[in-house]
Amino acid sequence: MIIINPQLLAAFLAAFFMPDATAEAPRWHAQAFLCPVLTPSKCVILDDTRGPYGSEEACQARAREMIRHAITWTGPVVRAGTRCSRNGQQEQERAT
């Protein structure tokens, strides 16, 4: 005979068969790019591994933080920019 815990069964059913309320909320993914002065034709694209973020502003702040950190090991840059995509779709690119 198998004994099933009713609370465990309810949690299982809720997790797998009820719609997720956060699935429809926009999730922003950050990217940054920069082109070092020493190798301007070899630009670097950085993908964020911390996100996704709940707002575009938070995403842009993270992308700028990524650039500031990357400049410490690449040195001066010719061009740098950020890109935030909502739910995996490209939305906006900003040069800094």
**What pLDDT was estimated at residue 53?**
92
Domain boundaries, the chain: 25-95
Distance of CA 75 to the CA centre of its chain: 24
pLDDT confidence of 51, banded at 50, 70, 90? confident
For the chain, the C-alpha Rg in angstroms (whole number) is 20
**What pLDDT was estimated at residue 5?**
72
How far is the C-alpha of 35 from the C-alpha of 88, rounded, in Å? 24
Percentage above 70 pLDDT, the chain: 71
How far is the C-alpha of 93 from the C-alpha of 69, rounded, in Å? 19
Q: What is the token pair recorded at 64?
A: 């700028």
Q: Is 72 helix (H, G, I), strand (E, B) or coil?
A: helix
How far is the C-alpha of 34 from the C-alpha of 45, rounded, in Å? 7
